[in-house]
Amino acid sequence: MRKYLAVVVMLVVSAGFACSKSTPSATSESSPAAAAASDDGGATAACPDLSADNPFVITIRNMAFEPSCLTASASSSIKIVNADSVDHTFTIDGTQVDVTIAAGQTFNGESAGLKPGEYSFHCKIHSSMTGTITVI
């Protein structure tokens, strides 16, 4: 089960984050905010491209995912570090990615095999913790 979850997490991370609070079907290329970001020379916060990282790393700190948006390769593994003193989950609805990471622990997972696209993720325990991954 743990290995399967790691695979799912990896696929999610491989999908990449889109730095958007929009639904997974929305793309940043069609949004006014994305147009503004490209017009202002990148003055707004950008989502890191972690597609060359294997594994790519997401850290949970101060009740937030770092980074909260990213781009990842579908073939990369994922590492989730819970630096908080409470348990969290890394969950991508509509997929098999749903991992609980105990306080102070690290989850290492294989690629989840997610198809290219944009996926929203969240912590099921703390609903304010959300993010977006773009898988390429």
The model's pLDDT over 78-127, given as tens digits with 9 standing for 90+, comes to 999 999 999 999 999 989 899 999 999 999 998 888 999 999 999 999 99
More confidently predicted of 12 and 120: 120
- Please give the Cα distance from 50 to 92 (Å, whole number): 18
| Domain spans in the chain, listed from the N-terminal domain onward | 2-36+47-135
pLDDT over 90 percentage in the chain? 62
Q: How many residues does the chain have?
A: 136
Q: Given this model, what pLDDT does residue 78 score?
A: 94
Under the banding of pLDDT at 50, 70 and 90, the label for residue 65 is: very high
Q: Given this model, what pLDDT does residue 45 score?
A: 63
Q: Given this model, what pLDDT does residue 13 score?
A: 41
- Please give the Cα distance from 52 to 122 (Å, whole number): 23
- Give how far Cα 35 sits from Cα of 9, 27, 30, 38, Å: 30, 11, 8, 5
Q: Given this model, what pLDDT does residue 30 score?
A: 35
Topology, domain 2-36+47-135: Immunoglobulin-like (2.60.40)
In 3-state terms the chain splits into helix, strand, coil percentages (rounded to 5) of 20, 30, 50
More confidently predicted of 118 and 24: 118
